[in-house]
Structure 1
Amino acid sequence: MTKFLGWAARAYVTAIFCLVFLPMAIILVISFSADSYLSFPPSGWSLKWYGAVLGNATFMEGLRNSAIIAVIVAGLSLVLGLPAAYALVRLEFPGRQIIRNLILAPLILPAMMLGLGILMVFTPAGLVATYPGLVLAHLVMTLPFAIRILQTTLSNLGTDVEEAAMTLGARPLQVFMQITLPRLMPGVIASGAIALILSFDEIVLSLFIVGPRLQTLPVAIFRYVDERTDPMVAVLAVLLILLSLAIVLIVERSVGFAKAFGR
């Protein structure tokens, strides 16, 4: 019976993995198609669509904008999220639980409603179709994730080492910089990587903020798909998947996600 349950569990896990990764495999195959339209299986094989993507000025500009915005958003998510997470985990003050819930509120609200609200606030402020506007809009989504990850890591670290250092005369800032922060670094790297991926892939909020002269890569892809469908779309999807996978693998190989959450 145990052997049968083990076989059934492996079969179930294999089926789930196939369900998740089969669409990605189909997209990968289509990206090498020689056809001028989406078809599976392709009638021929070619790398021309990869060259077409690299030679497309709109996509390259969108890639540059997305990369710049994602790096800035990831950095700001850490700069703003780390003090917030530390205060929520290590400090006692009135309304801490309410603030904790409010920080997570953007993750609960529908993205369309959130985007419309951001647009109504940003339009009078002149932030629409600007880098600062896109950065602030993306921060609304990435900051709660960063704070949540850092909260989890801090909660799992414990305070024994820090308390021992303070009993030996270390000042609070010394304790944080020399003990807490190095132990927290895996969580910092993981939260920064996730913020980077979320910002780079964000499309719903970006659609409300971008303009004709400033757009991100996901928005450029969305507008392209609205007009035509060819294997160039599959190439772009493959490149985005590979980028996200590369970041995840770098985090896993450098610190490990288990270590990132303090386990």
Structure 2
Amino acid sequence: MTRLSLSRVVGIGTLLFLPLPIVIVVIVSFTSAGYLSFPIPGLSLRWYVEFLGSADWLAVLGTSALLAFIAAFVSTAASFAAAWAIVRGGMRGGAAYETALLTPLIFPHAAIGVIMIVILSTIGWLGSFIGLVLVHCILTIPYAYRPIAASLRKSDPSLEEAAMSLGARPLRTFFLVTLPAARPGLITSLLFSFIISFDEVTVSMFLVGPFVMTLPVQVFSEVLESASPVVAAVSATLVLFTMLLVFVLDRFVGIEFFVERD
């Protein structure tokens, strides 16, 4: 076997292996048994009915969706302001500021969770919704900043200069020239931030309280306590939802905007 064919076999095998756990979870979500097992003894929709018919599950689903929406909006707005100052404003030490914005990617999420316990308990936000919003904004800013910065760097500043030279005021130039040019990055930022926040579990485990619970943390707790197949139905629904968001992102914007290229 040549080196090229061996590399192709390894590549194909890796691509087939990576989605295997997801496929198994989806299959298990249709089990007729009352416990998690594979292969499944029969097909049933009872666990999807239990998930969609449970007020508790729908409540945490709504909490996670609202939390992800607020975190995505706030982190996108903050990242746009930072990217504008660094890319367009030529801020001194811009590279250092960019590194600081990306630091949540460096530290382990468990360490971030422990640190945020101390900070939020000090200001009285531990176990509150606003505390979760603050932490999720911190976690999603790195994913929000890069596509916006990439869009601003790819857009031509001379278009803004031409608009102002033709008499357009700065605010009008911003809304008619700058924002449309940055729109792909803004949409990418919103969707990726939403996905990251909606699926976040490690840090949220440290910060949820008796009155605030997110869907991923609830799924984790159910796996530890009962291992009911309803968690497979919830997980399969989340996988489908995330895939739809990524499809929309790739279809209307292009995932390449998430990667900054020279």
The equivalent of 2:217 in structure 1 is 219
2:131 partner letter: G
- Counterpart of 2:18 in 1: which secondary structure? helix
The equivalent of 1:200 in structure 2 is 198
The equivalent of 1:90 in structure 2 is 88
Deviation at 1:22?
A: 1.5
The equivalent of 2:12 in structure 1 is 14
Q: How does 1:151-190 map to 2 (within 5 A)?
A: 151-190=149-188
Q: How does 1:79-158 map to 2 (within 5 A)?
A: 79-158=77-156
Deviation at 1:142?
A: 0.7
Aligned residues: 261
- Counterpart of 2:19 in 1: which secondary structure? helix
Extract unaligned runs of 5+ from structure 2.
none
The equivalent of 1:52 in structure 2 is 50
* Alpha-carbon separation, structure 2, partners of 1:229 and 1:168: 66
* Alpha-carbon separation, structure 2, partners of 1:53 and 1:90: 48
TM-score normalised to the size of structure 1?
0.91
TM-score normalised to the size of structure 2?
0.91
Deviation at 1:214?
A: 1.2
| More deviation, 130-139/247-256 | 247-256
8 A contact 1:157–1:262 mirrored in 2:
no
2:22 partner letter: M
Deviation at 1:25?
A: 1.2
1:124 partner letter: T
* Alpha-carbon separation, structure 1, partners of 2:256 and 2:143: 17
* Alpha-carbon separation, structure 2, partners of 1:92 and 1:157: 15
The equivalent of 2:28 in structure 1 is 30
Do the aligned partners of residues 259 and 223 (structure 1) sit closer, same or farther apart at CA in structure 2, a change above 3 Å counting? closer
2:241 partner letter: L
8 A contact 2:109–2:202 mirrored in 1:
yes
- The share of aligned pairs that are identical, in percent, is 38
Deviation at 1:132?
A: 1.0
Deviation at 1:47?
A: 0.9
Deviation at 1:156?
A: 1.7
**Deviation by residue 1:162-220 (Cα, 9 ceiling, x = unmatched):** 23323334333332211111111111111100011111111122112111121010111
8 A contact 1:77–1:139 mirrored in 2:
yes
* Alpha-carbon separation, structure 1, partners of 2:114 and 2:137: 16
8 A contact 2:147–2:257 mirrored in 1:
no
**Deviation by residue 1:67-87 (Cα, 9 ceiling, x = unmatched):** 111111111112211111111
**Deviation by residue 1:79-126 (Cα, 9 ceiling, x = unmatched):** 211111111111123332222211111111111111111111111211
The equivalent of 1:70 in structure 2 is 68
Root mean square deviation of aligned Cα: 2.2
* Alpha-carbon separation, structure 1, partners of 2:66 and 2:162: 42
